[in-house]
Amino acid sequence: MSDDFDAYYDAELRPALESLEERRRQASRTWRTVAGVTLVVVVGALVAAAALSYWIIAAVAVVLGAGCLFGSHAILFHPVIRDAKREMIGALARFVDPSLRYSPKGCITRAQFRRSRLFSHGVDRYRGEDLVQGRIGSTDIRFSEVHAQYKTTHTDGKGHTHTSWHTIFKGLFVIADFNKHFRGVTRVLPDVAERALGWFGQKLQGAFDVFERGELVKLEDPEFEREFVVYADDQVEARYILTPALMRRLLDFKRRAGRDVCFSFAGSSVHIAISTSRDMFEPDASRSFLDRAAMLAHLRDLQFATSVVKELDLNTRIWTKE
Amino acid sequence: MAVAIGVLVAVLLALVFVFNGLVMKRNRCENAFATIDVMLKKRYDLIPNLVETVKGYAKHERELLAQVTELRARAASGALPTDEAVVLNNRITGLLRRLLVVVEAYPELKANGNFLQLQRALNEIEEQIAAARRAFNAAVMDLNNAVQMFPSSLVASMTGFRERHFLATPEEERGAVDVGERLNPSGPAADT
């Protein structure tokens, strides 16, 4: 695998990224010059302000200087990072599977997010990026970063209205074609009642509320029952989907993820929500784009997302769904 | 006086509540059992097609096929007591498994599109039957807990609720199924 990657790196990634790395260095040099000049001007202004005891100049200089630093950084680096991201993540995705296509601005749509019925809270703000989609074996898969929020407003005594935003879900959202037909919805959620109350669990509990939960499904695997709680429209269908083997696989997947994961089986697909506060698939402009370690980290993220096909055994198509 | 009436009403309400819970649990068992029946009927419908298809290719399996056909006819007649029907259907499950193993010896059969379709349908139904059986066992567990646990056990014994038996998994089902390997030789086996 690592040899494969080295060969791919030399053949595909390096040639594509070398010119981008040159642009990054150019941007870096320009920015350092801008920063140097800005610093000199600001220090000059501070000295002048001190000499004249005219402190408004100092304040204006500091604000303008900071604005200049951040503004020029964004203007210089943003296009480079954007292009590097498209090249790098796109190429890494093709390395994971040639069928995978990457769209930096695409995401799992709001409708798809809603269809999973994982989060029943109304969504007021929905954002996402880094959509990867393709077909691994017989299984269609797509995933992206998603951030869904709802807002609350309250009016204080002075009549000012305050709006605060609350996260419903932030992290990686994966949708993969499931290998069996089914009609209803089955949800596998972290069991907050049987475990210590994790923050995600609490959030989920709030988000799920009582409505639309469906029937509670009690399954045979005690370890699975400790980690998850299952709600479904149909008891038999839930067990048709959640075979003893799949229960083990979901448990293993959750352990590998090392964080809270919830699954839903709806509309002939499996939806997997893996919460993380990390911004994934973002090249770091302060390091070389050719840095192999950073690239391997992105590669691991991609492989983790696509591993659901293998981990949940979705390519086994021995039932009526082909 | 008022307190006594209050207590009496509370006790009565609790009794009604517990009784209704027991009825609900019993109905769930019935419902789950009926679901197994539906799935078994689907399998009865599938078996003649399967037997016909296999017959054309597998000349040496006449005895096995005749056995499947005969058991299917007896089970599908619907005249059997529940216990016997369960045993009979477990035997059918075992025979169908054996059938899928012996067809290994007939490459033309394995290449037959119709047979592959039937095999998929059979896998599907077997999976559905297993799920329905598990759903039934879960419902039985719920009912049995209520019948045995205090205080619902009091209500249960007064109103004649009884425990029900679990459906045991047939011996052949405990082993790993390797149908997956046969269908996609490169892919992983189904280990359900």
Q: For residues B95 and A218, what is the distance between their CA atoms, to the nearest angstrom?
A: 31
Cis peptide before A79 (omega within 30 of 0): no
Contact B123 A318 (CB under 8 A): yes
Q: For residues A118 and A108, what is the distance between their CA atoms, to the nearest angstrom?
A: 14
Tell me which residue in A243, A320, A322 faces B121 most closely, judged by beta carbons.
A320
How many C-beta neighbours within 10 Å does residue A36 have?
10
Question: What amino acid occupies position A172?
Answer: L
- Residue B182, pLDDT > 60, answer no
Residue B177 has a pLDDT of 45
Mean of per-residue pLDDT scores for chain B: 83
Q: For residues A302 and A299, what is the distance between their CA atoms, to the nearest angstrom?
A: 5
Contact A235 B135 (CB under 8 A): yes
Q: For residues A99 and A134, what is the distance between their CA atoms, to the nearest angstrom?
A: 5
SS3 A218: coil
Chain B nearest CA to A245, separation (Å): 5
Contact A239 B132 (CB under 8 A): yes
Which DSSP string corresponds to A221-280?
Answer: -HHHHHHEEEEES-HHHHHHHS-HHHHHHHHHHHHHHTS-EEEEEETTEEEEEEE--S--
Residue A204 has a pLDDT of 53
For B23-40, write each residue's pLDDT tens digit: 999 998 998 888 898 899
Residue of A nearest to B28 (CA): A235
Interface of A with B in 126-155 (CB under 8 A): 137
**What φ, ψ does residue B144 adopt, rounded to 5°?**
-60, -40
Contact B132 A180 (CB under 8 A): no
Instruction: Give residue for tokens 């448990």.
Output: A251
Task: Provide the b/e sequence for A247-282 (b: ≥16 CB within 10 Å).
Answer: bebbbebbeebeebbbbbbbeebbbbbbbeeeebbb
Low-confidence stretches of chain A (pLDDT < 50) are: 197-199, 201-203, 205-206, 209-210
Q: Could you tell me if the ipTM is greater than 0.95?
A: no
Residue B35 forms contact with A (CB below 8 Å):
yes
Q: For residues A318 and A320, what is the distance between their CA atoms, to the nearest angstrom?
A: 7
* Domain range B15-183, CATH class: mainly alpha
Residue B178 has a pLDDT of 45
Give the pLDDT band of residue B75 (cuts 50, 70, 90).
confident
Chain A with chain B: Cβ pairs closer than 8 A? 70
Q: Where are the domains of chain A?
A: 2-96, 101-311
Record the tokens describing residue A182, joined without a space.
Answer: 């089914």
Instruction: Give residue for tokens 């539906």.
Output: B38
Crossing angle of helices B113-148/B2-57, nearest 10°? 160
Residue A82 has a pLDDT of 93
**DSSP H stretches of helix in chain A:** 2-8, 14-52, 55-96, 110-115, 199-208, 222-227, 235-241, 244-257, 292-311
What average pLDDT score do residues B100-111 get? 84
Using a 10 angstrom Cβ sphere, with 0-12 exposed, 13-18 middle and 19 or more buried, the burial of residue A165 is exposed
Q: Where are the domains of chain B?
A: 15-183
Chain B nearest CA to A115, separation (Å): 25
Give the pLDDT band of residue B20 (cuts 50, 70, 90).
very high
- Testing the interface with B: which of A136, A139, A216, A235 to mutate, by most B Cβ within 10 A? A235
The beta-carbon contacts of B29-34 under 8 Å, at least 24 apart in sequence, are B29/B136, B29/B139, B29/B140, B29/B143, B29/B164, B31/B139, B32/A235, B32/A236, B32/B132, B32/B135, B32/B136, B32/B138, B32/B139, B33/B136
Residue B184 has a pLDDT of 46
The answer to whether B95 and B122 are in contact (CB under 8 A) is no
Contact A239 B179 (CB under 8 A): no
Chain B nearest CA to A7, separation (Å): 26
Residue A239 forms contact with B (CB below 8 Å):
yes
Q: For residues B177 and B192, what is the distance between their CA atoms, to the nearest angstrom?
A: 7
Residue B187 has a pLDDT of 39
What average pLDDT score do residues B103-111 get? 84
Q: B147, B169, B149, B166: which is closest to B158 by C-alpha?
A: B147
For A50-93, write each residue's pLDDT tens digit: 888 888 888 888 999 999 999 999 999 999 999 999 999 999 99
Contacts of B56 (CB under 8 A, 6+ apart): none
For B142-181, write each residue's pLDDT tens digit: 899 989 988 888 888 888 888 888 887 665 455 444 444 4
This prediction's pTM: 0.82
Chain B nearest CA to A239, separation (Å): 5
SS3 B170: coil
A105: which DSSP letter? T
